[in-house]
Structure 1
Amino acid sequence: MILLDEPTERVCAAIVAGDLAPVRLAIVAPGGYGKTTVLERLAGADVRLVDDAHLLGDAELGELLRYLEDEQAQIVIATRPHPRRAALNQVLARLRGQIVLRPFDVARTKAFLEATGSPELAEFVHAQTGGVPGLVRATSELNLLRHELDHAGEDVVRFLFAAEAGAAADQSGAVIEAAHATGLLSPDGRLLPIAARALRELVPQPRQVALRRQLVQRQLERGGPVLPLVRPLLEAGLTGPEIGAAFEAAADEAEPALAAKLYEAAAKAGRRVGARWAEAVARAGDFDAALRLADELLAAENPRDREEGARVAGTALAHRGQLARSAELFQWAGTGDSRCFAAIALVGTGRVPEARKALDECAGTGPPTLLSGAVNGAARGIVESVTEQPAVALSTLVRAAEMLEPVSRRLLLPDSPAALGALVALHSGEAAIAEPLLERAIEAGALVARHRLLLAWIAMVRGDEETAVARLREAGDDLSPRDWLFAVGLRVGIARRASDLAALRRIWGQAREAVIRHPVDLFTFLPFGEFEVAAARLGERDRLAPHLRQARQLLAALGEPPLWATALHWSGLHAAILAEQPEEAAEHARALAAGAATGPYFAAMSQAAECWLKVLGGEVDPVAVEAAARALHDVGLCWDGARLAGQAAIRTSDRKVMVTLLDCARVLQGRDPAPTPGPARLSERERQVAELVLAGLTYKQIGDRLFISAKTVEHHMARMRQRLGAGSRSELLAELRAELEPAEG
Structure 2
Amino acid sequence: MGAAAPAGAAAVGLLDGAPASIALVRAVSEDPAAPRAVAVTGPAGSGKSTVLQALLRAWRAAGADVVESVPGGPAADAVIVVDDAHDLPGDELDRLRLLADSPGARIVVAFRPWPRGRALARLAAVLAASAPPLVLGALDAAGVAARAVRITGHRLGDDAVRAVAERTAGSPVLVDRLLGSGTTTGVAPAALAEQIGYAVDAEDRRVVELVTALALGAPSDSEVLVPLLGLSDTAGSGIDEVDELVQRAVAAGLCTPDGAVVPLVGEAVRTRVPPARRTELRRTLAEIELERGGSVLAVARTLRGSGATGDRAAAVFVAAAAEAARSEHPDAVRFYAEAVAAGTPPLSVAAGRAEAHLVAGDLDGALTHADAVLSATDAVEADDAVRAGSVAAAVLARRGLLARSAELYRWTAAVSGERPPAAAVPVLIGTGALEEARELLGPGGFVPGRAPTLVDGADDLTARGMLDSVQGSPTAALSGLARAAGLLESAHGAALLPDTPAALAALVAVHTGEFDVASSVLDRALRTGLGGAPARPRHRLLLGWIALLRGATGPAEDRLAAVDADAGGRPLEPRDEFLAAALQVAIARRNSDLGALMRAWTRARQAIVRHPVDLFVLQPLGELVTAATRLREESWVAPHLDEATALLDRLGRPALWAAPLHWAQLQAAVLVDDVEAARAHTAALEAAACGSRFAHAMAVAAPHWVGVLENRVDPAAVEDAARGLHAVGLSFDGGKLAGQAALRADDRRAVSALLACARALQAAGAEVRPDVGGTSAHGSAGGGASTGTSGHGDAATTDGPSAGPGRAGTGTSAGATSGGRRAGTPGVRPAPAGTGAAGRPADPGGADVAGHPAGAGGAGVPGRPTGAGGAGVGGHPAGAGGAGVAGRPAGAGAAVPTRADPNGAAARSERGGPGEGARPAVPSLLSEREREVAELVVQGRTQKEIGEALFISAKTVEHHVARIRQRLGAGSRSELLDQLRRILDER
TM-score bin (small chain): 0.7 to 0.9
2:405 pairs with 1:158: no
- How far the C-alpha of 1:508 sits from its partner, in A, is 4.6
- How far the C-alpha of 1:503 sits from its partner, in A, is 5.6
Q: Does the CA-based 8 Å contact 2:468-2:476 persist in structure 1?
A: yes
2:542 pairs with 1:454: yes
2:44 pairs with 1:31: yes
Q: What is the aligned counterpart of 1:691 among 814, 820, 825?
A: 814
Q: Does the CA-based 8 Å contact 2:43-2:253 persist in structure 1?
A: yes
Q: Residue 134 of structure 1 aligns with which residue?
A: 173
Alignment identity in percent? 39
Q: What is the aligned counterpart of 2:620 among 527, 533, 558?
A: 527
SS at match of 2:616: helix
Query: 1:82–1:620: structure 2 CA closer, same or farther, 3 Å change rule?
Result: farther
2:148 pairs with 1:113: yes
2:354 pairs with 1:270: no
Counterparts of 1:149-228 in structure 2, within 5 Å, are 149-150=200-201, 151=203, 152-159=207-214, 172-183=242-253, 194=264, 197-198=267-268, 203-228=273-298
Query: 1:15–1:493: structure 2 CA closer, same or farther, 3 Å change rule?
Result: farther
Q: Does the CA-based 8 Å contact 1:488-1:514 persist in structure 2?
A: yes
Q: Which has the higher helix share?
A: 1
SS at match of 1:446: coil
In 2, distance between residues paired with 1:628 and 1:599? Answer: 16
In 2, distance between residues paired with 1:351 and 1:628? Answer: 36
Q: Does the CA-based 8 Å contact 1:409-1:445 persist in structure 2?
A: no
Q: Does the CA-based 8 Å contact 1:163-1:191 persist in structure 2?
A: no
- How far the C-alpha of 1:365 sits from its partner, in A, is 3.1
In 1, distance between residues paired with 2:615 and 2:447? Answer: 28
- How far the C-alpha of 1:411 sits from its partner, in A, is 6.0
2:365 pairs with 1:365: no
Q: Does the CA-based 8 Å contact 1:113-1:122 persist in structure 2?
A: no
Q: Residue 739 of structure 1 aligns with which residue?
A: none
Which amino acid in structure 2 is aligned with residue 296 of structure 1? Answer: A
In 1, distance between residues paired with 2:38 and 2:628? Answer: 89
- How far the C-alpha of 1:663 sits from its partner, in A, is 3.7
- How far the C-alpha of 1:248 sits from its partner, in A, is 3.2
- How far the C-alpha of 1:608 sits from its partner, in A, is 1.8
Query: 1:704–1:559: structure 2 CA closer, same or farther, 3 Å change rule?
Result: closer
Counterparts of 1:534-613 in structure 2, within 5 Å, are 534-536=627-629, 541-578=634-671, 584-613=677-706
Query: 1:238–1:646: structure 2 CA closer, same or farther, 3 Å change rule?
Result: farther
In 2, distance between residues paired with 1:730 and 1:540? Answer: 36
Q: What is the aligned counterpart of 1:483 among 552, 563, 576?
A: 576
Which amino acid in structure 2 is aligned with residue 461 of structure 1? Answer: L
Query: 1:632–1:707: structure 2 CA closer, same or farther, 3 Å change rule?
Result: closer
In 2, distance between residues paired with 1:296 and 1:531? Answer: 37
Greater alpha carbon shift after TM alignment, 312-321 vs 189-198: 189-198
- How far the C-alpha of 1:446 sits from its partner, in A, is 3.1
Q: Residue 710 of structure 1 aligns with which residue?
A: 957
Greater alpha carbon shift after TM alignment, 319-328 vs 397-406: 397-406
Q: Does the CA-based 8 Å contact 1:275-1:297 persist in structure 2?
A: yes
Q: What is the aligned counterpart of 1:319 among 391, 395, 398?
A: 398
Q: Does the CA-based 8 Å contact 2:739-2:755 persist in structure 1?
A: yes
Q: What is the aligned counterpart of 1:681 among 776, 785, 792?
A: 776
- How far the C-alpha of 1:246 sits from its partner, in A, is 3.0
Query: 1:529–1:477: structure 2 CA closer, same or farther, 3 Å change rule?
Result: farther
Query: 1:405–1:22: structure 2 CA closer, same or farther, 3 Å change rule?
Result: closer
Q: Does the CA-based 8 Å contact 2:592-2:945 persist in structure 1?
A: no
| Rg comparison, structure with higher value | 2
- How far the C-alpha of 1:588 sits from its partner, in A, is 3.4
Q: Does the CA-based 8 Å contact 1:109-1:125 persist in structure 2?
A: yes
TM-score, normalised to structure 2's length? 0.63
Query: 1:276–1:165: structure 2 CA closer, same or farther, 3 Å change rule?
Result: farther
- How far the C-alpha of 1:238 sits from its partner, in A, is 2.3
In structure 2, stretches of 5+ residues that fail to align are 1-12, 70-80, 184-188, 226-238, 788-811, 823-943, 968-975
In 2, distance between residues paired with 1:497 and 1:686? Answer: 20
- How far the C-alpha of 1:237 sits from its partner, in A, is 2.7
2:367 pairs with 1:291: yes
In 2, distance between residues paired with 1:166 and 1:87? Answer: 31
Q: What is the aligned counterpart of 2:320 among 250, 275, 285?
A: 250
Q: Does the CA-based 8 Å contact 2:544-2:557 persist in structure 1?
A: yes
- How far the C-alpha of 1:263 sits from its partner, in A, is 3.0
- How far the C-alpha of 1:332 sits from its partner, in A, is 0.9
Greater alpha carbon shift after TM alignment, 356-365 vs 676-685: 676-685
SS at match of 1:104: coil
Greater alpha carbon shift after TM alignment, 43-52 vs 374-383: 43-52
Q: Does the CA-based 8 Å contact 2:220-2:259 persist in structure 1?
A: no
- How far the C-alpha of 1:184 sits from its partner, in A, is 5.7
- How far the C-alpha of 1:532 sits from its partner, in A, is 3.3
Deviations 1:610-659 (A, max 9, x none): 22333355444331222111211222323332343344446657554344
Q: Does the CA-based 8 Å contact 1:320-1:518 persist in structure 2?
A: yes
In 1, distance between residues paired with 2:272 and 2:744? Answer: 79
- How far the C-alpha of 1:331 sits from its partner, in A, is 0.9
Query: 1:392–1:710: structure 2 CA closer, same or farther, 3 Å change rule?
Result: same
- How far the C-alpha of 1:513 sits from its partner, in A, is 3.4
RMSD of the alignment, in Å? 4.7
Deviations 1:378-412 (A, max 9, x none): 44544554455645655665566566666454662
Query: 1:564–1:236: structure 2 CA closer, same or farther, 3 Å change rule?
Result: same
Q: How many residues are matched?
A: 728
Query: 1:167–1:409: structure 2 CA closer, same or farther, 3 Å change rule?
Result: farther
Which amino acid in structure 2 is aligned with residue 258 of structure 1? Answer: D
Query: 1:704–1:607: structure 2 CA closer, same or farther, 3 Å change rule?
Result: closer
In 2, distance between residues paired with 1:625 and 1:300? Answer: 63
Q: Does the CA-based 8 Å contact 2:214-2:260 persist in structure 1?
A: no
- How far the C-alpha of 1:362 sits from its partner, in A, is 8.1
Q: Does the CA-based 8 Å contact 2:86-2:115 persist in structure 1?
A: no
Query: 1:122–1:434: structure 2 CA closer, same or farther, 3 Å change rule?
Result: closer
SS at match of 1:593: helix
Greater alpha carbon shift after TM alignment, 160-169 vs 256-265: 160-169
In 2, distance between residues paired with 1:703 and 1:58? Answer: 97
Greater alpha carbon shift after TM alignment, 549-558 vs 166-175: 166-175
SS at match of 1:27: strand
Deviations 1:64-89 (A, max 9, x none): 65467556886644433233344544
2:702 pairs with 1:632: no
- How far the C-alpha of 1:605 sits from its partner, in A, is 0.8
In 2, distance between residues paired with 1:716 and 1:187? Answer: 86
Deviations 1:462-493 (A, max 9, x none): 34557656766887836644234334444444
Which amino acid in structure 1 is aligned with residue 388 of structure 2? Answer: G
Q: Does the CA-based 8 Å contact 2:718-2:738 persist in structure 1?
A: yes
Q: Does the CA-based 8 Å contact 2:52-2:83 persist in structure 1?
A: no
2:16 pairs with 1:4: yes
Deviations 1:431-460 (A, max 9, x none): 455455556655665325244543443343
Q: Does the CA-based 8 Å contact 2:286-2:316 persist in structure 1?
A: yes
Q: Does the CA-based 8 Å contact 2:16-2:147 persist in structure 1?
A: no
